[in-house]
Chain A
């Protein structure tokens, strides 16, 4: 299918372009053609494909889990209930393992993060050309099917988690306590001059950086892994245009990479969930 494009470079660029809807430079509203146009639309544009796929997958997740929750019986569980219970027990176990305070929101949050991120990552396993090709025939010029390869999605999640971290930090320790946590450690001194004039700026800088690093690393880890994985699928897909021998080799490679990718998508979803729990636990815990 790479043959439809002028060059491999263009094929790759096309696959990495979101379906962005926004206001063009000339004032009209429409879909951006190419990365430059999308960038020119500024902040008030929206990646329609990312939104559609992420919402669709989230609704799918909640639909099945809600169905299981509605029919949840104490007796012998049915197939779907069994599966859902298995995941819920796994999440519950993870949350109990790393989150000691009592908070009814953390476990459902972890469940949502894990399953939703997993489903969004799993879109990566679909051959890269299927959905964009179908969409192309339907007149949609761009389609990026893996929402987690869009930094907007991963940062949206990570910043929400970060907002919760800030909220619970202030709620649990008070704004003074939270500030003290940032300002008066790791360097401590009994001497007020040393404490307020020398160590406080250093501490604030160090702790500030480590605080800001949390959401950024959380978002970039997921984005980077999924983006790189997607990129390799695209590169492998390029081989299908290079004669039947290369295409056969590419098919084998794609299968192998997809198998390996099953591990990555699960692992990344798990890491995102675990770090979310750990960050929230740290927000609740008193520092010493």
Chain B
């Protein structure tokens, strides 16, 4: 082995290379690696968070759906109740109206019957008077015998 100044040259070269590497090579690459590592970690965390949020949203959606369903059921039940009520009301109103009309018809019938009876009574009275005239062969003074005729009318 023959040692010479190459030893010193190598040492200087080595120091310069290490210095350069330490100054210009290692930090930027390490920096990029670290930053990328952090970004990937952040991305994974964000993914997890997104998944969690999705789960929460799904839970909330199903809750909302269930609530909506129960509300809809309530509304339908109320509507049915109301419909039944309306039908009942309509029935009773119709019954009342019918009763009322029947009563009115009855009144009209009674009135007509009374009127017919009055007419008949008058005619009978007239016929009775005419019959009496014929029987007495004389004129009955309507005015003088009005009391009598009235009495007769009332009796008929």
| Chain A interface (Cβ < 8 Å from any Cβ of B) | 18, 20, 22, 35, 38-39, 41-47, 50-51, 54-55, 58, 61-62, 65-66, 68-70, 72-75, 77, 81, 84-85, 88-89, 92, 104-105, 107-109, 111-112, 116, 150-153, 155-157, 159-160
Contacts and interface: CB of A to CB of B under 8 A. Distances in A.
A74 B20 CA distance: 22
A38 B27 CA distance: 42
A59 to B, nearest CB: 8
B28 to A, nearest CB: 4
A160 B11 contact: yes
A104 B6 contact: no
B139 to A, nearest CB: 141
Contact of B29 (A43, A54, A55, A85): A85
B4 A153 contact: no
Interface of B: 1-11, 13-15, 17-18, 20-22, 24-33, 35-36, 39
Given A62-B25, A72-B29, 7 more contacts: A68-B29, A69-B28, A72-B32, A77-B32, A109-B18, A152-B10, A155-B10
Contacts of B18: 105, 108-109, 112
Contacts, number: 129
A148 to B, nearest CB: 10
Per DSSP, are chain B's interface residues mostly helix, strand or loop, or mixed?
A: helix
B5 A43 contact: yes
A66 B7 contact: no
Contacts of B27: 69
Given A69-B24, A72-B29, A85-B29, A116 B6 contact: no
Nearest to A157: B14
A41 B6 CA distance: 13
B28 A108 contact: no
B7 A116 contact: no
A84 B36 CA distance: 15
B36 A74 contact: yes
Nearest to B36: A74
A152 B33 contact: no
A73 B6 CA distance: 39
Contacts of A68: 29
A35 B2 contact: yes
B1 A74 contact: no
B4 A66 contact: no
A70 B9 CA distance: 28
A68 to B, nearest CB: 7
A47 B21 contact: no
8 contacts: A18-B2, A43-B5, A54-B13, A105-B22, A108-B26, A153-B6, A155-B3, A159-B7
